[in-house]
Amino acid sequence: MKKLLIIIGVCALAGAAFAGENFETNPTTINPHLMAAKGFVQQQVSAGSGDLVLHSGGKVLRNAKVVCIFWGPSFATGGADNVYATTMQAFRNQFGTTGEYNVITQYYGTDDNDGSYGNIAQSNLQGTQADWFDTTTPPSRVTDATVQSEVKRYVANFGVNYATIYEVFIPRTSYSNSSGSSSCGGPHLGYCAYHSHYVDGGGRNVKYSIEPWAGCSGCQSFGNVILDQQHFTCHETREAVTDALGNAWYDAAGYEADDKCAWSPAPFLGTGGFGYQYEWSNANSGCIRTR
């Protein structure tokens, strides 16, 4: 997510909404890194922003895992969105070994989980921790504090792994609200998804993302909610790996790797017939599909 986003268009929000100010109660005061919706930010890398730079002290996830948390009764077996949920699990199960994920193996750093140093590796993102179909009903307005609370509920029941990104999916009846704007379905559309982290009682970083329903034109490229959601999950997963705490890989303008290619070139159908986006490659000094 871009650190300082450049607003364009007549429907733009106040700049502070994207510039590190978090206007809701956030118990950690750590600001989410937002993937802005179409028409709200510069769509392609700005002139002179250049390649990604590993910033001093930045952390990555060298051998990442992903847990899917499907929050809402519609995702459960027999529910209206169960196919959505199981398709997202299938996407996760293969993503870490694809050419689309392999692009980020050129990046390296200190791992936030075990302190090892080296390149990011391809791996099966499905770890030993189970996904969670939480059949309670989320509120219509899901703040960042609410997302953290849901992740903490998972951790209380299933434990924590610090190499894992806990990805929270919410149904069409809810929307995400953070940093003065909202996702699809909310009153102030500004972003489609985000990743962040919180510090737990042991002083360790728990990584997570919110994956709202991709049901509005500002968050669609494929015109298909499931494919568009795969685009955002691809985006947020790779950014949480290459910039786990918001202090590792980003460019001179503050863009993380996937921000530089978020909407242009257009997202595409790739490995397995799933939806992906282009990724910034320092090796190519441009956006590429696979490596």
Residue 3 falls within a domain, yes or no? no
256 closest CA partner among 67, 64, 90, 104: 104
Q: What does DSSP say about strands 275-276 and 279-281: parallel, antiparallel, or unpaired?
A: unpaired
Write down the pLDDT at residue 179: 80
Residue 264 lies in a domain: yes
pLDDT of residue 1: 53
Low-confidence ranges of the chain (pLDDT < 50): 2-29, 42-45, 47
Query: Cβ contacts of residue 149 below 8 Å, gap of 6+?
Result: none
Preceding peptide of 265 cis, ω within 30°: yes
DSSP assignments along 47-87, one per residue: TT--S-EE-TT-EE-TT-EEEEEEESGGGSTTSTTHHHHHH
Q: What is the pLDDT of residue 30?
A: 74
- How far is the C-alpha of 233 from the C-alpha of 273, rounded, in Å? 15
The pLDDT tens digits of the residues spanning 181-226 come to 999 999 999 999 999 999 999 999 999 999 999 999 999 999 999 9
Number of folded domains that form the chain = 1
Residue type, 228: D
CB 40 within 8 A of CB 186: no
Asked if the structure places residue 7 within a domain, the reply is no
Per-residue pLDDT, 28? 42
Q: Indicate whether 4 belongs to any domain.
A: no
Q: In terms of residue numbers, what domain contains 66?
A: 15-288
Evaluate whether residue 164 is within a structural domain.
yes
Q: What is the pLDDT of residue 285?
A: 94
